[in-house]
Chain A
Amino acid sequence: AQKITQTQPGMFVQEKEAVTLDCTYDTSDPSYGLFWYKQPSSGEMIFLIYQGSYDQQNATEGRYSLNFQKARKSANLVISASQLGDSAMYFCAMRPIYNFNKFYFGSGTKLNVKP
């Protein structure tokens, strides 16, 4: 069974501080991709970052980095220097590389950035 767990329904962070959003996953597939998406209050889903299970280095995209610990099956998103515009829902997702009809999403974490 495939499963994505985001244990933090809501989080607060002070502007300019770093924040880590947790994500753990469960899969029996040997190769898979991990994704993070941002959903602002306007509703659209915005792709943030991708990590392949075969990648040796942690993915980074600007202020976003993915702390990938394969043995622990965790794929935490780190946002550095939080901005007010980072306030949104954040979803962790996983897709097995060779079972492309399976794209599993977690239940999300609501991040609030305080001025």
Chain B
Amino acid sequence: NAGVTQTPKFQVLKTGQSMTLQCAQDMNHNSMYWYRQDPGMGLRLIYYSASEGTTDKGEVPNGYNVSRLNKREFSLRLESAAPSQTSVYFCASSETVVATEAFFGQGTRLTVV
């Protein structure tokens, strides 16, 4: 089983460039999430989608946009990358927003120079 698949795994951007991180899950989960992981700070929620057709802000949404393309796919877009967005990004999914287990992708290591 693929589970949660993120692409790309690594990316280097110049300040001001844009890019989209892709995420897809094959578990028929309703809820999907985007997190960023910074040293010493654990994971912080950027955006989430409780179900297909809905998206909501998390703890640190500034500088990001998301699209829940369909039930499987949830993308994260950086319109104008900044060095402060250098981080490791994780996509996750769960059956519902109150599910007791969330499954994570392998992460995208993004560097903005």
Contact = CB atoms under 8 A, between A and B. Distances in A.
A97 to B, nearest CB: 6
Contact of B42 (A4, A47, A101, A102): A4
Contact of A52 (B44, B56, B100): B100
Interface in A89-115: 91, 93, 97-98, 100-108
Contacts of A50: 100-101
A107 B50 contact: no
A104 B41 CA distance: 10
Given A42-B106, A44-B105, A100 B42 contact: no
B88 interface: yes
Contacts of A33: 100
B42 A44 contact: no
A42 B106 CA distance: 8
A45 interface: yes
Interface string B84-106: 00001010100001101111111
A85 interface: no
Interface in A1-58: 4, 33, 35, 37, 42-47, 50, 52
B102 A47 contact: yes
A47 B98 contact: no
Contacts of A46: 104
27 contacts: A4-B42, A33-B100, A35-B101, A43-B88, A43-B106, A43-B107, A44-B105, A45-B43, A45-B90, A45-B92, A45-B104, A47-B102, A91-B42, A91-B43, A93-B43, A100-B48, A100-B97, A101-B45, A101-B56, A102-B45, A102-B59, A103-B35, A103-B43, A105-B44, A107-B40, A107-B42, A108-B42
Interface of A: 4, 33, 35, 37, 42-47, 50, 52, 91, 93, 97-98, 100-108
